[in-house]
Every structure is written in structure tokens, then in C-alpha cells.
Amino acid sequence: MKNRVVVGLSGGVDSAVAALLIKRQGYDVIGVFMNNWEETDENGSCTAVDDWADVRDVCNRLDIPYYSVNFSKEYMENVFELFLREYRAGRTPNPDVLCNREIKFKAFLDLAKELEADHMATGHFVRTDSAGHLLRGADPLKDQSYFLYMVHDTQLRQAIFPVGGMTKKEVRAIAAENGLSVSAKKDSTGICFIGERKFKQFLQTYLPAQPGDMVTPEGMRVGRHDGLMYYTLGQRRGLGIGGCGDGRSWFVVGKDLGQNRLIVAQGEDHPLLYTSEAVCTDVTWVAEALPEGVPVRCTCKYRYRQPDQEVEALLNGDRLILRAAVPQRAVTPGQSAVLYRGETCLGGGIVAETR
């Protein structure tokens, strides 16, 4: 009997080509569409409906069975509720990281086991080695290892990433050559559950706004904010400060949660925008943890699109201390700091504070 692989199909080109390549390798392939969010956007439309139609088209073209599963309850409890809690606390979370940990490599992996599959597969642009180490995708512009740092090696050894060694251009070419209807479909961007709505408008639906003062680091009032949750460190647009200061642009440099004040300062190189040390909690490792109490030199990404930054990482109990070789701009509490050694993703943590 051929080995069975359950492929997570999103309705996009990457997962469609992943299913095609898996089938070419002789596996018994089952396509599964995960519906993680049930609400419609402001226009009454739901992209999941269109994505499901694309999944059906792809599976019919590949002549493989397909199913739709609803993980919206798991998503609400394990991803979205934490997303709201973090914003309530004035931090800026990354729900994609949690979605991979809680849904795609937990709920979906459990489903694959129920279907008696030998492996699961996705369209992520990442690679793994035989030991289950997480490696960057071959296309540096599409590498998604940053979003998978919370996935452990035991889970990765059960996963296949067929497009991880390819470029996006190659993926689209294969889709077109094989008549897949999604070959030219635009990539999805942003947070999946927000859709076409503006972020601020979406957040207002779930969290009550608490307006307050905008103040300088010295305490001078220069304006009003709509709610601390709507702003992030380093933000320039949308502050609406006029007639104050020396004409340079204003930037968010901090939040005073106790007094509900947004701290702003002028100049994109203001010292308060930079930090040399970040303390991370919720630390996870793909495979082996760093040795505790021993400084280790490696590289780090504080944001997905950021080039690698040299750091000295020190594991101290359940906290990870990162000391940057060069001061880092706008390191934001709530975001993920992900560590690398060459092509290998080591793990990372959630930024709790900066110094």
C-alpha cells in the first residue's frame, strides 16, 4: 500500500503545487481545506467560500479526494483569544505564529493521524533535514521559517514541505504548466481573519477604545490618541499631531499603560526608538535548547522581513535575553524574536520588554 499524505490546501498556488508534487512522488494523497474563521468581512463576503471553490477545482484536476474541516472553535480559543488579550495589554502579537503551532501542526496533524496518514504536507516555504531541524526556504523572499519557530522537531519529522526548495516563480510555472486554476492567484497578505477591513475598524469590533493623551517623554501633552491598542512602536502615520515641535515627524516611542498615555517623540532616529537588549518569554525551541547561562552568538529576526541581526543570546531559566551587536529600531513587545544559526532556525520567544 502506498504511503498516505494529507495535504493542507488553502486555495492558493503554493499548497496546490505541494499536492501536485506529492502525488507525482507516488503517495496516496488526500486534500484538506481548513476553515478557521467563519465571519464575513464588511461587504458580507467570506474569502473562505472562494478559497474552498479553488480547492475543489485543484483536487478535481489532480484527481484526489478532498474534505473541508472546521477548526474555527480551536482557532477562536487558542489563537484569536490570545490575540485580543495581547492587544488589551498594549502589545502587538503575531497570530500567524500561533496558528501554525495550534492549528496547522496540532489540530491538522491530529486529523492526519485520524485519517491514518503517514505524513502531512503544506505549501510553506521551508525545508527540513532528516533530524527534523527547521531550515530556511530556498527562496529568501518567501522563506517562512520565522512563522514556524514554535513547531517542534517531533512534529516537523511528520511533515513534508514540497515547495520549500523552490522559488515562487518556479511554483507558479509548475502550476501553469499543469493547468491549475490558481497559477496566477494573488498571494494572501495580512492577518487572515481581518480580510478587507481596516485593522483599526476590525479591532474596534472586539475591544472597547479608551482614548487618552499623547505626551512627549518629558510629559508635555501634544495630542490625543484613540486607544493604545491601535498604535505600535515606531509608528509615524496617523498620529495627527500638528503645530507642535520643530517640524520633524513624530513617532510612537512608548506606551504608559498605567496612565493610558501614548509617548511620542520627534525624529526617526530618536534614542527611545532603539534598544540593545530584549527580554523574551514563552521561549520555544525547534530541537535542542540553548545551554542555560552560556552566551551564544547567533542571528535574530525581530520582524519577518528584517535581515538577520547579530545577537548574543543568553537563556536564563524561562527567559531569553538577546543583546544586539547593533542597536535595534522599534523592537516591539508581543512580537516574535526568532534565532538562526546559518540556515537552521533554532527557536525563539515573544518579546516581553526592551532595555
345 as an active site residue: the answer is no
- Marked catalytic residue, from 46, 59, 192, 345: 192
Task: Round to whole Å and give the CA distance between 154 and 41.
Answer: 37
Contact 93, 335 (CB under 8 A): yes
Can you spell out the DSSP letters for 118-160?
SEEE---SEEE-TT--EEE-SSTTT--GGGGTTS-HHHHTTEE
pLDDT at 40 over 60: no
Structure confidence by residue, pLDDT tens digits, 192-224 = 666 556 788 888 889 888 999 999 999 999 999
pLDDT band of 43, cuts 50, 70, 90:
very low
Amino acid 45: pLDDT:
45
Amino acid 201: pLDDT:
82
Structure confidence by residue, pLDDT tens digits, 311-349 = 999 999 999 999 999 999 999 999 999 999 999 999 999
Structure confidence by residue, pLDDT tens digits, 117-155 = 999 999 999 999 988 899 999 999 999 999 999 999 999
- Marked catalytic residue, from 59, 99, 298, 345: 99
Task: Round to whole Å and give the CA distance between 148 and 182.
Answer: 25
192 as an active site residue: the answer is yes
User: Burial letters for 304-322: b for 16+ Cβ neighbours within 10 Å, e otherwise?
Assistant: beeeebebebbbeeeebbb
| Choice among 9-23, 39-53, 89-103, 160-174 with the minimum mean pLDDT | 39-53
How many CB atoms neighbour CB 225 within 10 A? Answer: 24
Instruction: Set out the domains of the chain in order of their start, with CATH numbers.
Output: 4-177 (3.40.50.620), 208-268 (2.30.30.280), 272-354 (2.40.30.10)
**Mean pLDDT value across residues 293-302:** 97
Amino acid 46: pLDDT:
54
> pTM for the whole thing?
0.93
- The mean of the pLDDT values for the chain is 92
